[in-house]
Structure 1
Amino acid sequence: MKLCPKCSRSPLPFVMVVLISSVLAFITWLVLGLSQIEPTVRLAAGAAVFLAVGGTLVHYVITCLKRHCRHDHEHQQVQHGQTFSRPA
């Protein structure tokens, strides 16, 4: 999955993915702390939630960046050696 060079420069969407995944993993860890589950199982469940949510959100972010790229035509033209001619 290659992204447009202009669109892939912003780290903000990926920072948001890490933030959301971390919050949900922490909430899972806290909720499991109310039950009689061992700490290693709590950590494993929190890590599993982090990976599952993070993987899903990264896939969603990359798909949205590719779908809503405004530089797509410029990137394809340079790649194929084509140029647009504007009617006057």
Structure 2
Amino acid sequence: MKLCKTCFSSVWPFVLMTVIAGITGFVTWLTLGLSQPEPETRIAVGLIVFVAVEATLIHYVVSCMRRHCRHHVPKMGRGHHLSPGA
């Protein structure tokens, strides 16, 4: 998997993913508190949700960065169109 170093130099997408996963895990932990399970069960399920959401978001962000990276595409001058017949 070839990744562009310029696209991955910013840490903000990864920080935002971790915050979203943390909030989701915390809300899961709070919700499980309403049903009174064991504290170890609440922590375990909250961590599982955190890891699942984090892994899903990492996969999504990395695939989007690879798909939309334009750092290696030659720049087109004025008057050039994307389609050859235009």
Q: TM-score, normalised by structure 2?
A: 0.82
Q: Which residue of 1 aligns with 2:27?
A: 27
* 1:18-43, Cα deviation, whole Å (9 max, x unpaired): 00000000000000001120000000
Where 2:34 maps in the other structure, the secondary structure is coil
Residues of 2 paired with 1:68 and 1:43: CA distance? 37
1:2 matched to which residue of 2?
Answer: 2
SS at structure 2 position matched to 1:72: coil
Q: How does 1:2-81 map to 2 (within 5 A)?
A: 2-73=2-73
TM superposition outliers: structure 1 runs of 4+ over 2 Å: none
In structure 1, runs of 5+ residues without a counterpart are 75-83
Where do 5+ consecutive residues of structure 2 fail to align? 78-86
Distance in 2 separating the partners of 1:35 and 1:58:
31
**Once the two structures are aligned, what percentage of the paired residues are identical?**
51
TM-score (structure 1 length as normaliser): 0.80
Q: Distance in 1 between matches of 2:54 and 2:70?
A: 25
Q: Give the root-mean-square deviation of aligned CA atoms.
A: 1.7
Aligned equivalents of 2:19, 2:36: Cα separation in 1: 28
Query: Displacement of 1:73 after TM fit?
Result: 2.8
